[in-house]
Structure 1
């Protein structure tokens, strides 16, 4: 069984389930029997047609999951039947059997559970690549993270702690301290609390922030930029506000060391050995609990419409992942 999109639109209306016979393998492919796939809010954005310029219809959604090698050319393949594999680089994880080019398949260490392996790519890899490849780490630096109590925000906090840094956490509601249990922070600021907001604005007079990790965009990016020290680093990795960073950002702070980070761009420009090495680092962090992911719910693929209802209506999905089982 697989989920298939014949036309872009709202996920509940666009996703259909169908039985299918997997195609014959080409010489460069292996076939995986999927064990788990994840459902992310970003999958719904893809299904809506936001990236239609690079996705042809029909397509199988799902960018993250883990499977077992079911078929391969064992004489020429680096894998053997029964090996556990992380397939990345394209959509196609929401199906029972997946044919995929072997160059986009990566090994998984034995110590990870299937659930850990299935959730070890999108958020953990994005967070770790930003910190290890993009952020200019300095001792005792001040890093500010917005949406810090989101799944990836908490991951960034734990990873920064692992690197010896206590960040400032920006959130959007009160009483979030328990969500940061075990984390080391300079402070938590609720940007929707008037007193907290004013203290945040005043902070630029006595604390200069070295780096900002922003996934909101819009006016919040502009406001936070005023807190950054001269030539400070600003990394944007999302637009949860659905608004671009305004032109005033660059007019007011032309000195800022600004960059966007997109996992897809890094993955599609890196050599396979470099991707595997980074995945190995990430999976060690997953195993240690630093980059582990909370599972909000599990649904069988045949119940995918229930899963879609859940992800659209349940606040818990902002803190964890939905797993699809096969």
Structure 2
């Protein structure tokens, strides 16, 4: 069985190796054997390789935090899924390999008519977007949500969910060519995050209520979202892709405007009861065509170094883990 294994904490292009490992054991009771199909290269995957993530793996270690595969075998007592079903392995299941045996608990069949490349990206970003809209503020139809990194998987899912639920979105992006694209995807207001964008956002909202800000960048970009929030609004941070580890918050915003600043990490115990439903809600958006996450490139497993280099430069990159490659 081929797999991508990390051999040292450092530059992923150099430390990751394509290796042949023994095939996983046949599934025991309450287990399933999965043939992996696709897995995305996420920022948190690369953070694991460089030892900058929330947890550290012993070395050498297979890599991969999410992906999609088909059930090849089921063990005794398994009733929730059957051979041939597409399923999502658990978070941090080390998915960059052709096959794996995992517990069947919590697995469920994914829609058969959705592109598996889309399903491969379903485990982290879309359910995070669902939780962002459901777990922090009691949003009402007509309320506004402001977000940065609107072109991300989370950002696009927020747009699709908000449109479905009668919410309105202000979406900050960093490249002008994304404006028309995200407007077509359903974003109500799409602005390049540049000087004057905050004033444009406030003008677009008018007397509306901006109750939630969703931050994927941190630092000064998050501070601009706070400026757009209405009285007693809440900012929730899910990432710090800008590299800035501190978000400046004015004391006056805390005292006089009642601004609340929160964070989310979906692997915390308090979110686990909601993950399955969040995944299913996101899968429904994919099934209906309301959510289509962009893919910059798909690389066969043998070209993993090119795939890693591409992902570092930018764009969502997938690994094709099917044995035929």
Could you state the TM-score of these two structures normalised by the residue count of structure 2?
0.86
Q: Name the residue aligned to 2:135.
A: 133
CA shift for structure 1 position 281: 1.8
The structure-2 alpha-carbon separation of the partners of 1:242 and 1:84, relative to structure 1 and needing over 3 Å to count, comes to: same
1:293-312 correspondence to structure 2 within 5 Å: 293-312=293-312
In the alignment, the residues of structure 1 paired with residue 48 and residue 126 of structure 2 have an alpha-carbon distance, to the nearest angstrom, of 20
Distance in 2 (CA, whole Å) between partners of 1:310 and 1:121 is 22
SS for the counterpart of 1:295 is coil
- Residue 61 of structure 1 corresponds to which residue in structure 2? 63
Mapping 1:168-207, distance limit 5 Å:
168-192=170-194, 194-196=195-197, 199=200
Give the equivalent residue in structure 2 for 1:239: 240
When residues 244 and 19 of structure 1 are mapped into structure 2, their CA distance, relative to the original with a 3 A threshold, is same
| Alignment CA distance shift 1:142-1:16 (3 Å) | same
* Structure 2: tracts of 5 or more residues without a match: none
Provide the residue aligned with 2:10 in structure 1: 9
Give CA-to-partner distance per residue, 1:140-173, whole Å, 9 cap, x none.
2121111223343222122211111221111223
CA contact (8 A) 1:74 1:80 kept: no
Are the aligned partners of 1:43 and 1:62 in contact in 2 as well (CA < 8 Å)?
Answer: yes
Structure 1 position 278 matched with structure 2 position 281: no
From 264, 267, 270, the equivalent of 2:267 is 264
Shift of 1:186: 4.3
Distance 1:67 1:174, change over 3 A: closer
Count of residue pairs brought into register by the alignment:
318
**CA contact under 8 A between 1:203 and 1:227: conserved in structure 2?**
no
For residue 229 of structure 1, report the CA deviation from its aligned partner: 2.1
Post-superposition Cα deviations, 1:45-70, rounded to whole Å, max 9, x if no partner, equal 22111126443333211122111222
> How far 1:22 moved relative to its partner?
2.5
1:324 is the counterpart of 2:325: no
Distance 1:203 1:220 in 2: 19
Q: 1:322 to 1:135 in 2, by over 3 A?
A: farther
Matches within 5 A, 1:242-253: 242-246=243-247, 248-249=249-250, 252-253=253-254
CA displacement 1:176-231 (0-9 Å, x = unmatched): 33222424444333222x34356458889976632211111112222332332221
Cα distance in 2, alignment partners of residues 112 and 185 from structure 1: 23
Give the 3 Å change call, closer, same or farther, for CA 219–185 of structure 1 in structure 2.
Answer: same
Q: Residues 280 and 15 (structure 1 numbering): CA distance in 2 closer, same or farther, change over 3 Å?
A: same
SS in 1 for 2:232: strand
Distance in structure 2 (CA, Å) of the matches to 1:228 and 1:275: 27
Within 5 A, what are the aligned runs for 1:150-165?
A: 150-165=152-167
Tell me: CA distance 1:228–1:237, structure 2 relative to 1, closer, same or farther (3 Å): same
2:288 is the counterpart of 1:288? yes
* Equivalence for 1:166: 168
Q: CA RMSD in A?
A: 2.8
What per-residue deviation string (whole Å, max 9, x for no partner) do you get for residues 251-298 of structure 1? 7425223321122226x7524xx5433322221111112232222211
Q: Once the 2 structures are TM-superposed, how far is the Cα of residue 77 of structure 1 from its aligned partner?
A: 5.2
Q: CA deviation at 1:76?
A: 4.5
Q: Counterpart of 2:218?
A: 217
> Bigger shift: 287-296 or 69-78?
69-78
User: Are residues 123 and 13 of structure 1, via their aligned partners in 2, closer, same or farther at CA, if it must alter by over 3 Å?
Assistant: same
Q: What whole-Å deviation, never above 9, does each CA across 1:67-100 have from its counterpart, x for those lacking one?
A: 1222332445543333322112223110011122
